[in-house]
Amino acid sequence: MAILNHRDYRLSKARLEQLRRVTGAGGVVAALAEQLPANAEQARRTTLEMELGRLTREIAAYEELRAGDVRPTGNDGTSDLGLLPILARISRQLSQRELAERLGMREQQIQRYEKDRYSSISLERYQTILRALDVDLQPRLTERPNATVVEGNDFEIELSPDLLRELRKRNWVDLPRGAAPSAMKRTLAAYVAKNSSLARGAPLNRRTRSSTAGTAVQQIWTARVLESASSATGRMKGKFNIADSAWLAQLVALSVFPDGPVRAMQMLRDHGIIPVIEPHLPRTLLDGAALMHADGIPVVALTLRHDRLDNFWFTLLHELAHVFLHFSSGLADGFIDDDLGNQLISDVEREADDFARNRLIPDDLWKTSVVRFTTESESVVKFARRLNVHPAIVAGRIRNERDFSLFSELVGKGQLRKLFTNYST
């Protein structure tokens, strides 16, 4: 159950009604107005229906707990000790303010405790709160399943000079120059294992387009993305709403500004998605990723492997497609995308490609425009102005469909990475 306070309950009820609208008869009309390709439209509808079912179950579970039908005691199999006081408070029909008054605390303190699942509380204070909630927690011994630990010797990675040089430069982990390869592998394996808990699913084992299994280098990069995302969870302005995709049109319109990519990152934060810019590592073709943080917050990561504006906007919309099309059917396990443009792709990747292409330039406008056949830069610029998008987006689509040597001067080469002051190569 993810609803742990009355504020989230009210928000979830509102989201439920919105999901019912967009999946009902009126929602069909709205979907037609979006004019998504058939495969992307079906994926979108499936995701919305799955989210409708999940939210319905979570609301019912909260209402059952709130009614006192379930009384968590700590001795009934509840294994998450950080969750126990929250569930007990709800089942006792106490608000955060009422519990704070009972304990002689400020309401904000209870809110902070619950936000981090009581991870920052002292044992003495934790016991005080349990007593106030009439929870008698008895110690018990249980056999825990063996955790899967990747040993250094089992971490298959080639510690090439260029990779070591880059990892030391980024300073994610301490890799002393005189250290034995086995010791460095253990350090990297521990780094991956530590950050794997920051994901909702298992993205560190996700396959990519160009490899049959997740490589160790890919796992290290993904671990860093999760680490960066985790540090940003407390600074999010908005809460992600799977039912609302209307703002994507405003996102694409930001492309006309010189600092459009930077503004786009802020818009993602405003809508409850964590953006991460993390350059790819040597000997990889990583372009981006779409993940789910352990807190349930979507994460979109970009490498800026190609320093071009057209590539930035397509990759960004491709990763957002995974969020909006596959939120309930794969996002938890992650989508690690490399070598975007490779023709050998799965159905879900094709859905994401089609979604991104159509969001940048609607297919109906593209198919009826002669700009597809133009050789004149001026025609590209005029068509882009008509759509209120950057000319790089139009030029990029022409190059992808016809010839990558066309309109090189319009794709914004060398204008991307310099916008991000923390970007390093």
Look at residue 36 in the predicted model and tell me its pLDDT.
82
DSSP 310-355: HHHHHHHHHHHHHHHHSTTTTGGG-EEEESTT-S---HHHHHHHHH
Q: What's the pLDDT tens digit per position in 333-358?
A: 899 988 776 666 788 999 999 999 99
Sign of the torsion formed by the C-alpha atoms of 408, 414, 417 and 419 = negative
DSSP state of 361: S
Q: What's the pLDDT tens digit per position in 112-156?
A: 999 888 988 999 999 999 999 988 876 655 554 444 444 555 678
How many Å apart are CA 123 and CA 170, to the nearest integer? 37
Residues in the chain: 425
Tokens of 119: 């991870």
Look at residue 33 in the predicted model and tell me its pLDDT.
52
Give all strands (DSSP E) within 226-292, no chain letters. 274-277, 286-292
Sign of the torsion formed by the C-alpha atoms of 101, 104, 109 and 113 = negative
Phi–psi pair at 307, nearest 5 degrees: -85, 65
Pairing of strands 274-277, 298-302: parallel
User: Between the ranges 149-153, 193-197, 249-253, where is the mean pLDDT highest?
Assistant: 249-253
Percent of the chain with pLDDT over 90: 64
Pairing of strands 286-292, 335-338: antiparallel
First-to-last C-alpha distance (Å) of the chain: 42
Residue of 156 and 360 predicted with greater confidence: 360
Q: What's the chain's average pLDDT?
A: 87
User: What are the Cα distances from residue 185, in Å, to 112, 173, 315, 352?
Assistant: 37, 11, 31, 35
The enclosing H or E element of 85 equals helix 84-91
Confidence of residue 183 (pLDDT cuts 50, 70, 90): very high
> How are strands ordered across the β-sheet holding 298-302?
274-277, 298-302, 286-292, 335-338
Residue of 5 and 185 predicted with greater confidence: 185
Confidence of residue 236 (pLDDT cuts 50, 70, 90): confident
Residue of 215 and 359 predicted with greater confidence: 359
| Total H helices, total E strands in the chain | 17, 4
Which of 2-16, 99-113, 131-145 comes out lowest in average pLDDT? 131-145
Confidence of residue 424 (pLDDT cuts 50, 70, 90): low
What is the SS3 assignment for 275? strand
CB 390 within 8 A of CB 371: no
Q: What's the pLDDT tens digit per position in 390-412?
A: 999 999 999 999 999 999 999 99
User: Between the ranges 90-99, 224-233, 252-261, where is the mean pLDDT highest?
Assistant: 252-261
Q: Break the chain into its structural domains and give their ranges.
A: 6-132, 147-196, 201-419
Look at residue 70 in the predicted model and tell me its pLDDT.
67
